[in-house]
Amino acid sequence: MTSPRFLPLAWTLLKQHLQTQKEAVADHWNYSSTSGFVLTSLFNHSPTHLFLFSIVVLIYVLAMTGNVAMIFLIWVDSRLHTPMYLLLSQLSFLDIFFTSVTVPKMIVGFLYGWTSISFGGCGAQMFFFMFLGAAECLLLALMAYDRYVAICNPLWYPILMSRQVCCLMVIASWLGGSLNASIQTILTLQFPYCGSRKIAHFFCEVPSLLQLACADTAAYKKVLFVTGVVVLLVPIAFITTSYALILTTVLQMKSAEGLHKALTTCTSHLTVVNLFYGPLIYTYMLPSSYHSPGQDDIVSVFYTVFTPMLNPVIYSLRNKEVSGAMKKVIRKCAATRNV
């Protein structure tokens, strides 16, 4: 039989063991908090990767230039002071900061080897990435509503899309993005990170960071999936409904000019929606079994670098008002130089 003296001794040893494990996990978490993480460089220093790095930097510069130019054109041309272009200027504004959250750190890491990032810096990068990405998702959905009102209810457009309504839309997209980012960042950073400090990605993104957590993240991954449904699938359903109603109205139009104008503005917006939502659905909605570090890097580069560069190009090439404003500014600059 078990000695009565053995039970208190066993209980004491068990408590000491649990306390030791708890302190070990806390130490590991504090270690991650103080020393931070190491990001994987997207490129090595081979000739091929040097060429690809140069392409990414060029695209980043073009994205910044194109979006700044779009905001400038909308600001200086009074003909573009309409709700549609106000929302478009906000899209460019978000794109400027969205791509700047990740690309400059990647450039510095490649050129100088500074691939480490502090725990707080990783949290900040993750917050702003989720904040700006979710805000852009919501803004694209609101832009679909703008097109729906303009085409299906043109007489009500000045009322339904007044300047005050546009400002509320912009504020709603920013608030929704900040709420989404706050929830996901807080929940992600609460896990203990006691394994490798090396993040298999070129920036701090939630799925990559969760792979380093030394705790059960299954419940949180379900929360992540639900937030993905709210931020991605609900706006997609809203956009799809808006364009189904728009298509019904467009098919009933008798004016060829009105039909062409409606299709032009709608196809531009739909192109941007597909380019932005597609990679995000792959990253945040598909199970981890469908992912690999190489594929995740390519997809992330696409929606953090390529899409922000393509947005102003798509809207300027397929929009007569924007291209007209651009030509007007160029003529003014040329006239000023001649004088």
Q: What are phi and psi of 38, to 5 degrees?
A: -125, 125
Confirm if 265 and 82 have CB atoms less than 8 A apart.
no
* pLDDT score, position 217: 83
Global pTM exceeds 0.75: yes
The answer to whether 279 touches 306, Cβ cutoff 8 Å, is no
Tokens of 58: 């060029």
3-state secondary structure the chain: CCCCCHHHHHHHHHHHHHHHHHHHHHHHHHHHHHHCEEECCCCCCCHHHHHHHHHHHHHHHHHHHHHHHHHHHHHHCHHHCCHHHHHHHHHHHHHHHHHHCCHHHHHHHHHHCCCEECHHHHHHHHHHHHHHHHHHHHHHHHHHHHHHHHHHCHHHHHHHCCHHHHHHHHHHHHHHHHHHHHHHHHHHHCCCCCCCCEECCCCCCHHHHHCCCCCCCHHHHHHHHHHHHHHHHHHHHHHHHHHHHHHHHHHCCCCHHHHHHHHHHHHHHHHHHHHHHHHHHHHHCCCHHHCCHHHHHHHHHHHHHHHHHHHHHHHHHCCHHHHHHHHHHHHHHHHHHHC
Which pLDDT score, from 0 to 100, does residue 211 have? 84
CA distance 57 to 299: 17
Please give the pLDDT value at position 129. 93
Amino acid 339: pLDDT: 59
pLDDT per residue of the chain (339 residues) written in tens, 0 to 9: 444 454 455 445 544 544 554 444 444 444 444 568 888 877 777 888 889 889 999 999 999 999 998 898 888 888 888 888 899 899 999 999 999 999 999 888 888 888 889 989 999 999 999 999 999 999 999 999 998 998 888 899 999 999 899 999 999 999 999 999 998 899 898 888 877 788 888 889 888 888 888 888 888 888 888 888 888 888 999 999 998 888 888 878 776 666 776 677 678 788 888 888 888 888 888 777 777 767 777 888 888 888 898 888 877 766 677 777 777 777 777 777 665
Class of domain 35-338: mainly alpha
pLDDT of residue 17: 45
